[in-house]
Amino acid sequence: MNVRKLALELLNKTEKAGQYSNIAIDNAIKKNCLDTQDSSLLCVLVYGVIERKLTLDYIINSLSSLPPSKIELNIRNILRMGLYQLIYLDKIPPHAAINESVELCPQRSRGFANAILRNYQRKSAEIVFPDKEKSPTEYLSVTYSFPTQLCEKFIEIFGFEKAEKIFDAFCKEPSTTLRVNTLKISTDDFVSKLVAKDINAERSSLSPCGVKVSGSPVSELGIDEGLCFVQDEASQLCVLALGAQSGDRVLDICSCPGSKSFGAAIEMKNVGEIRSFDLHENKLSLVNRGAENLGISIISTDARDGRIFDEALENYADKIICDVPCSGFGVMAKKPEIRYKDPKESEGLPQIQYDILCNSARYLKKGGVLVYSTCTLLPEENQLNVEKFLAAHKNFETCDFNIGGIASKDGMLTLNPYDHKTDGFFIAKLRKVK
């Protein structure tokens, strides 16, 4: 199997069809029975090129005498892959990166591709990026490969310096974080088990049940044995903020793929009741299979729209997880396609989120706790939505919390990738007081 050729096919397919790269990669690995080394290279090439696409295109356009529109997608993706290897992958010899890329081209385009890649070797120092002071938006866009619309949005919200720190953090390879299933094994024993297999593993500094791993295939981490599941530290902190206890009735309003339901069940020692809902019935099989694998028996699933009131659930729950659909502008390190979404596409989300929050609040008992969360950094989906809710619901108040040494402010906490080394994530803890 020529892994570079396969990577090229996936890049062409994902850009033409708009398919998410992680799905395409998973399917390709299974279909072609790739070993660990080839799977790793495939992931690096596909994710890397998608992540750095705007930067690579800027360089290609700087080196090419052809107008950008005259370079067909297949050739552009070959050039992107070649440049990505030259710039970002120091373990691949430059001659190999160039020769393998040229070999992927049809005969008529090989001279052009060879010239572009060798020109980069000779003239890389002469390529001038936009000036940070004169053109801050274009500088961020080209340097970190984010569209100008998103750069403008983040500069407006956070200011230039913080926006640059956020974008830089999103360009770093994220570690894999696991949530240990302490129904089956202690966190310390789990780490020892991984270390004994020569897996680079260490306890999370933020979550008492989290373990960070690197350099090993997921298949070797104990997931199939039900000893753990993949869950970012920010998501783990969200579950811990809920404070679920044995015997609680818990509703997870938008539950798929289920990690928060699983975490709550483990905190409850698998005693009590968790009802996990999602709009899409076909996705709930992920929750059911995951719970079975982990040995969790207190989760039941049901397809429903979180905005539609169910009278049977009024004042039903002790705890509610309200992790609403969001723009995803906090998980761009793990899902590189999200960075190319126009922020305007997400303008309708705050109202949907607000409607789900208002409806979910009706299911909470007096004295109960609801945690509202998103995996985005946009204020209109986060604190502004919570403030709007509190203004209209005088029977709710925020509750401050401190988890992993990080304290909320007015019951709200925003985690960001450069300060906390987590996904960009928002958590608000609310209590029904009457």
Q: How many CA atoms are closer than 13 Å to the CA of 48, on its beta-carbon side?
A: 21
Q: What is the pLDDT of residue 346?
A: 93
Mean pLDDT of 287-309: 97
Segments making up each domain of the chain, as ranges: 3-126, 136-170, 176-230, 234-432
Answer whether 84's CB lies under 8 Å from 52's CB: yes
Contacts of 433 (CB under 8 A, 6+ apart): 366, 367, 395, 396, 397
Contacts of 280 (CB under 8 A, 6+ apart): 256, 303
DSSP code of 296?
-
Answer yes or no: is pLDDT of 207 > 90.
Answer: yes
Answer yes or no: is pLDDT of 218 > 90.
Answer: no
3-126 shares its CATH topology with 176-230: no
Q: What is the pLDDT of residue 302?
A: 97
Quickly state the pLDDT bin for 434 (edges 50, 70, 90). confident
Q: Characterize 68-90 residue by residue with b for buried, 16 or more Cβ atoms within 10 angstroms of its Cβ, and e for exposed.
A: eeebeebbbbbbbbbbbbbbbee
Quickly state the pLDDT bin for 18 (edges 50, 70, 90). confident
DSSP characters over 365-413? EEEEEEEEEES---GGGTHHHHHHHHHH-TTEEE---EETTEE-BTTEE
Q: How far apart are the first and last CA of the chain?
A: 64
Answer yes or no: is pLDDT of 143 > 80.
Answer: yes
Separation of CA 5 from chain center: 27
Answer yes or no: is pLDDT of 348 > 90.
Answer: yes
Mean pLDDT of 53-81: 95
d(CA 362, CA 307): 11
Please name which of 198, 257, 192, 262 lies closest in space to residue 226, comparing C-alpha atoms. Answer: 262
Q: How many CA atoms are closer than 13 Å to the CA of 78, on its beta-carbon side?
A: 24
pLDDT, mean over the chain: 95
Residue for token pair 């089956």: 184
Q: What is the pLDDT of residue 216?
A: 75
d(CA 20, CA 262): 25
Please name which of 377, 374, 434, 382 lies closest in space to residue 410, comparing C-alpha atoms. Answer: 382
Q: What is the pLDDT of residue 261?
A: 98
d(CA 324, CA 223): 26
Mean pLDDT of 163-180: 94
Mean pLDDT of 142-154: 97
Q: What is the pLDDT of residue 242?
A: 98
The CA-atom distances, in angstroms, between 308 and each of 126, 278, 311, 360, 394 are 59, 12, 10, 9, 22
Mean pLDDT of 222-236: 96
Quickly state the pLDDT bin for 301 (edges 50, 70, 90). very high
Tokens of 53: 């696409």
Q: Which contacts of 55-63 are long-range, i.e. CB under 8 A and separated by 24 or more positions?
A: 55/142, 55/143, 55/144, 55/145, 56/80, 56/83, 56/84, 56/87, 56/145, 58/129, 58/142, 59/83, 59/120, 59/127, 60/116, 62/127, 62/128, 63/116, 63/119, 63/120, 63/123, 63/127
Q: What is the pLDDT of residue 223?
A: 93
Q: What is the pLDDT of residue 19?
A: 73
Tokens of 413: 């906490």
Mean pLDDT of 393-407: 95
Q: What is the pLDDT of residue 412?
A: 98
**pLDDT tens figures, 117-142:** 999 999 998 999 999 999 999 999 99
Task: Report phi then psi at 95, rounded to 5.
Answer: -65, -35
Mean pLDDT of 267-282: 96
Task: Report phi then psi at 194, rounded to 5.
Answer: -70, -45
Architecture of the structural domain at 234-432: 3-Layer(aba) Sandwich (3.40)
Q: What is the pLDDT of residue 42?
A: 94
Residue for token pair 């705050």: 350
Q: Domain 176-230: give its CATH superfamily.
A: Sun protein; domain 3 (3.30.70.1170)
Catalytic status, residue 375: yes
Relative to beta strand 412-415, strand 425-432 is antiparallel
Mean pLDDT of 62-77: 94
User: Range with the lowest mean pLDDT among 11-15, 77-81, 104-108, 218-222?
Assistant: 218-222
pLDDT > 70 in the chain, percent: 100
d(CA 102, CA 97): 9
Q: Domain 3-126: give its CATH superfamily.
A: NusB-like (1.10.940.10)
DSSP characters over 176-191? EEEEE-TTTS-HHHHH
Q: What is the pLDDT of residue 345?
A: 92
Tokens of 149: 């619309």
Residue among 151, 238, 375, 399 flagged as catalytic: 375
